[in-house]
Amino acid sequence: MSNNVTNNKKQKMTVGFKVSQSEYNVLQQYPQLFHNQMVQDPETKQPRRLSERPKIGL
């Protein structure tokens, strides 16, 4: 097991990966793409963001 990986919750370490500049640029776009991803709410049939919690009626 690598020294950078730990199961101890009190100790946090960063694991780094070597990527090219183009790969880095793509990875930087993921949060924005995920935030803007739209899905149809099954209850209201209205579009909503994938990251939003659906409003559930009881």
The span from the CA of 7 to the CA of 5, in Å, is 7
Percentage of the chain lying above the pLDDT 70 cut:
67
Residue 21: both structure tokens together: 């500049």
**pLDDT score of 22:** 92
Residues 6+ apart with CB under 8 A from 16: 4
Q: Which residues pair with 38 in a beta bridge?
A: 49
Nearest Cα to Cα of residue 44 among 56, 30, 28, 32: 56
Per the CB < 8 A criterion, the answer to whether 3 and 15 are in contact is: no
More confident residue, 13 or 23: 23
Chain segment 36-57, per-residue pLDDT in tens: 888 888 888 888 887 777 676 6
- Domain ranges for the chain: 19-51
Q: Can you tell me whether residue 40 is helix, strand or coil? A: strand
